[in-house]
């Protein structure tokens, strides 16, 4: 069972300050939820550069190799001499390579998005629908009651309108 | 033009979700009409053509490409501004994009699907379409990747896939908003569509990175797609087709007609769904300026295409040019010039550019001109090739005209279904353009 405290904030900077305070007070992995992207939160929560780019690069490289190989393989499996043109004709095959580079790059980026963000995540998790509309929230997990009290205090001090305790199996 | 008060975050959710969750009688009537148009004008004639053969069209020995392919180019072109414009404006952090990009991207997707229908109609024996895929088939054939038609298959498949993913990824946070605002089966469906999105900083961070890469991939892809479509023509030796200017000519024309399409769609959305607070003066102003710039580029490239044909001094090219400008289809050629090069000059005037109704009319005229342009390229070049004894003539049959009308029904039907499935305005990105929820604000 995971026990969490969730603070609901009206203002963006309050939620950001709460997340920073919780992090500096020794709470591991506080996370924020918001109706819009809060770019300052990425730095505060130390996310760094997203690993999605590695997926994009890997996908693009695999796509380029696959595209050229596909064109060459088709030309060799079904040899079609046309007006003295080369069977393995590099210029037209580069176009196939180009398209496949993008296709695989896009698909790998999609895969990377799911892998890095942890979505789909249909399991129960701390959440309140207001964060999709106009509220910001900060959630932190705890194990002992004293940690809960500390977390609640820090969240209220930062300006939380409400603080909710949640227990999720 | 009256500017509206800036909405709150909650009002944005309310207004946009209202378009999704509440449906008036007018919507059902329009949907019914568009489905009827598809069945009567597209499906019926296509079944007839499948039954009697491709001879039901006006295509003949001299003109093996006809209206189906000119429509294919038109719809591919119309698809161009949505995803491309959205990607460029995303990379350049142009916030005016936020209210209009979702519908523009949907336009891309459904135009591509409509274009794909024309490939199948043009094929004649559509049940052999799998021969264009690199898979073993009963004839032991494998695709010839030296052919521009195979470039097309790869490019359009990639573009359709990338555009679908691009629009879907951008919609995930909004699907979560629909999920939270709905109940029952709809809630269960949107729980699946939204992947369990909660709006955590980690999810936003990853979405931002992934979305940026999608945008980076999509821009060169969109340019390549219409370049490749142009090579279907330009890599042949047919006079009127064989021009090096064709790739930029097609790309420019595609963005031009796509931008006009966005103006049309935005006007209709604004009027019918009461989105005046979101689709505002800045949008019609910026889209108008873009249309004006594109019309000038299009006019220049068009003049250049005529000039290079004439300057070549080749009798075949000059013959093709004469037929285009003064032959049977000359009225269509001059109509195209009027609608695509002359009428858009009205956009110079602020009073016209800032008037939604005037811009709507101009956008419709531009797309009529662009549809004509595609028809002229196909219909005036191929029948007039090298030997006068082999000269022919092409005129579309009633079946082709009917299927052309039906294609607008396909697009409209898909778009109408889309606006009840996905918020037509990006909720979270519109919120980003509002005053931030900070103490200072």
Encode B22-88 in three state secondary structure.
CCCHHHHHHHHHHHHHHHHHHHHHHHHHHHHCHHHCCCCCCCCCCHHHHHHHHHHHHCHHHHHHHHH
CA atoms within 13 A on the CB side of B312: 18
Burial pattern B391-402, b for ≥16 Cβ within 10 A else e, equals eeebebbebbeb
pLDDT for the residue A58:
97
Q: Please indicate whether, in this complex, the C-beta atoms of A78 and B141 are within 8 angstroms of each other.
A: yes
Question: Is B1's pLDDT higher than 50?
Answer: no
Provide the terminal-to-terminal Cα distance of chain B, rounded to the nearest Å. Answer: 27
A78 CB within 8 Å of a chain B CB: yes
Q: Which residues contact B280 (CB under 8 A, 6 or more apart)?
A: B3, B4, B99
What stretch of H or E contains B11?
A: helix B9-21
Q: Please indicate whether, in this complex, the C-beta atoms of B196 and A132 are within 8 angstroms of each other.
A: no
Nearest chain A residue to B433, by CA: A36
pLDDT for the residue B441:
60
**Which tokens sit at B147?**
């052919």
Nearest chain B residue to A88, by CA: B146
pLDDT for the residue B360:
95
- Nearest chain A Cα distance for residue B41, angstroms: 34
In chain A, residues 147-166 whose CB comes closer than 8 Å to chain B: none
The Cβ of residue B38 has, within 10 Å, a number of other Cβ atoms equal to 22
Mean pLDDT of chain B: 89
Q: With contact defined as beta carbons under 8 Å apart, do A62 and A104 qualify?
A: yes
pLDDT digits (tens, 9 = 90+) for B253-269: 999 999 999 999 999 98
pLDDT digits (tens, 9 = 90+) for B45-67: 999 999 999 999 988 888 888 99
pLDDT for the residue A166:
83
Nearest chain B residue to A9, by CA: B437
Among A67, A98, A106, the residue with its CB nearest the CB of B224 is: A98
Q: Which range is most confident: A125-134, B143-152, B241-250, B366-375?
A: B366-375
Residues of B in contact with A116 (CB under 8 A): 206, 209
**Percent with pLDDT over 70 in chain B:** 99
Which residue positions in chain A have pLDDT lower than 70? Answer: none
Q: Please indicate whether, in this complex, the C-beta atoms of A70 and B134 are within 8 angstroms of each other.
A: yes
A77 CB within 8 Å of a chain B CB: yes
**Longest pairwise C-alpha distance within chain B:** 81
Among A75, A93, A122, the residue with its CB nearest the CB of B196 is: A122
Q: Which residues contact B186 (CB under 8 A, 6 or more apart)?
A: B178
ipTM of the complex: 0.92
Nearest chain A residue to B148, by CA: A92
Q: Measuring CA to CA, which residue among B264, B279, B283, B280 is closest to residue B1?
A: B280
Nearest chain B residue to A39, by CA: B205
pLDDT for the residue B354:
94
State the DSSP code for B115. Answer: H
A79 CB within 8 Å of a chain B CB: no
pLDDT digits (tens, 9 = 90+) for B202-246: 999 999 999 999 999 999 998 999 899 899 888 888 888 888 888
B306-312: average pLDDT = 87
Question: Is B2's pLDDT higher than 70?
Answer: no
Residues of A in contact with B214 (CB under 8 A): 106, 109
Nearest chain A residue to B132, by CA: A74
- Nearest chain A Cα distance for residue B13, angstroms: 7
Distance of CA B41 to the CA centre of its chain: 20
Which of A115-119, B367-371, B407-411 bottoms out in mean pLDDT, i.e. has the lowest?
A115-119
- Nearest chain A Cα distance for residue B48, angstroms: 35
A to B CB pairs, distance under 8 Å? 188
Q: Please indicate whether, in this complex, the C-beta atoms of A103 and B162 are within 8 angstroms of each other.
A: yes
Question: pTM of the predicted model, to two decimals?
Answer: 0.90
A48 CB within 8 Å of a chain B CB: no
3-state secondary structure labels for all residues of B261-280: HHHHHHHHHHHHCCCCCCCC
- Nearest chain B Cα distance for residue A121, angstroms: 5
* Rounded Cα–Cα distance for residues A77 and A96 (Å): 17
The Cβ of residue A81 has, within 10 Å, a number of other Cβ atoms equal to 8
Among A47, A109, A114, the residue with its CB nearest the CB of B202 is: A47
pLDDT for the residue B3:
52
Place B81 in a pLDDT band, splitting at 50, 70 and 90.
confident
Query: Which comes out higher in pLDDT, residue B331 or B308?
Result: B331
In the sheet that A136-142 helps form, which strands lie side by side, from edge to edge? A31-33, A136-142, A2-9, A162-168
Q: With contact defined as beta carbons under 8 Å apart, do B192 and A119 qualify?
A: no
Query: Which comes out higher in pLDDT, residue B376 or A82?
Result: B376
pLDDT for the residue B356:
93
Residues of B in contact with A47 (CB under 8 A): 201-202, 205
pLDDT for the residue A98:
95
Question: Is B271's pLDDT higher than 50?
Answer: yes
A99 CB within 8 Å of a chain B CB: yes
Helix (H, G, I), strand (E, B) or coil at A168: strand
A127 CB within 8 Å of a chain B CB: yes
Residues of B in contact with A127 (CB under 8 A): 198
Q: With contact defined as beta carbons under 8 Å apart, do A37 and A47 qualify?
A: no
Residues of B in contact with A74 (CB under 8 A): 134, 142-145
């Amino acid at each position: 069972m995971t026990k969490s405290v969730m603070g609901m904030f009206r203002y963006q900077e309050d939620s950001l300050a709460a997340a920073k305070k919780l992090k500096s007070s020794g709470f591991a992995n506080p996370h924020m939820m918001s109706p819009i992207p809060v770019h300052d939160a990425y730095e505060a929560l130390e996310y760094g550069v997203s690993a999605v780019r590695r997926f994009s690069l890997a996908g693009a490289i695999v796509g380029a190799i696959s595209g050229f190989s596909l064109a060459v393989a088709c030309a060799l499996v079904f040899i079609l001499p046309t007006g003295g043109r080369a069977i393995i004709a590099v210029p037209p095959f580069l176009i196939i390579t180009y398209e496949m580079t993008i296709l695989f790059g896009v698909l790998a980026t999609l895969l990377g998005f799911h892998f890095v963000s942890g979505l789909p995540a249909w399991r129960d998790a701390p959440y309140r629908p207001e964060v999709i509309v106009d509220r910001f929230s900060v959630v932190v997990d705890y194990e002992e009651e004293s940690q809960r009290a500390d977390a609640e205090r820090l969240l209220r001090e930062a300006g939380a309108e409400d603080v909710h305790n949640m227990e999720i199996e | 033009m009256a500017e509206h008060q800036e909405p709150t975050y909650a009002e944005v959710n309310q207004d946009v979700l209202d378009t999704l969750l509440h449906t008036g009688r007018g919507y059902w009537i329009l949907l019914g009409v568009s489905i009827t148009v598809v069945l009567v004008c597209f499906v019926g004639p296509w079944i007839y053509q499948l039954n009697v053969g491709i001879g039901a069209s006006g295509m003949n020995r001299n003109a093996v490409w006809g209206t189906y392919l000119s429509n294919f180019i038109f719809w591919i072109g119309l698809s161009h501004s949505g995803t491309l414009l959205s990607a460029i404006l995303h990379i350049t952090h142009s916030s005016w994009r936020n209210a209009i990009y979702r519908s523009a991207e949907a336009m891309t997707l459904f135009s591509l699907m409509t274009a794909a229908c024309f490939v199948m109609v043009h094929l004649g024996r559509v049940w052999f379409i799998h021969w264009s895929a690199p898979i073993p088939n009963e004839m032991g054939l494998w695709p010839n990747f030296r052919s521009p038609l195979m470039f097309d298959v790869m490019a359009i498949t990639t573009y359709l896939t990338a555009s679908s993913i691009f629009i879907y990824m951008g919609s995930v946070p909004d699907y979560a908003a629909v999920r939270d605002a709905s109940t029952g089966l709809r809630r269960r469906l949107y729980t699946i569509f939204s992947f369990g999105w909660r709006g955590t900083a980690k999810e936003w961070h990853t979405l931002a990175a992934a979305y940026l890469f999608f945008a980076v991939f999509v821009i060169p892809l969109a340019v390549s797609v219409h370049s490749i479509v142009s090579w279907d023509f330009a890599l042949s030796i047919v006079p009127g087709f064989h021009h090096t200017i064709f790739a930029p000519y097609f790309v420019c024309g595609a963005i031009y007609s796509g931008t006009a399409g966005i103006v049309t769609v935005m006007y209709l959305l604004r009027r019918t769904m009461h989105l005046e607070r979101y689709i505002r003066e800045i949008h019609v102003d910026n889209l108008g300026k873009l249309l004006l710039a594109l019309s000038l580029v299009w006019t220049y490239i068009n003049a250049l295409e005529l000039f290079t044909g004439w300057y070549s001094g080749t009798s075949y090219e000059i013959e093709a040019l004469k037929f285009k400008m003064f032959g049977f289809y000359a009225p269509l050629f001059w109509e195209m010039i009027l609608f695509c090069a002359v009428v858009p000059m009205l956009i110079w005037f602020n009073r016209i550019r800032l008037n939604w109704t005037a811009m709507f009319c101009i956008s419709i005229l531009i797309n009529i001109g662009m549809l004509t342009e595609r028809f002229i390229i196909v219909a005036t070049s191929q029948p007039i090739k090298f030997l006068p004894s082999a000269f022919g003539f092409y005129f579309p049959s009633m079946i082709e005209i009917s299927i052309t009308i039906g294609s607008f029904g396909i697009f409209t039907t898909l778009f109408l279904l889309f606006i009840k499935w996905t918020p037509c305005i990006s909720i979270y990105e519109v919120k980003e353009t509002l005053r931030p929820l900070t103490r200072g604000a």
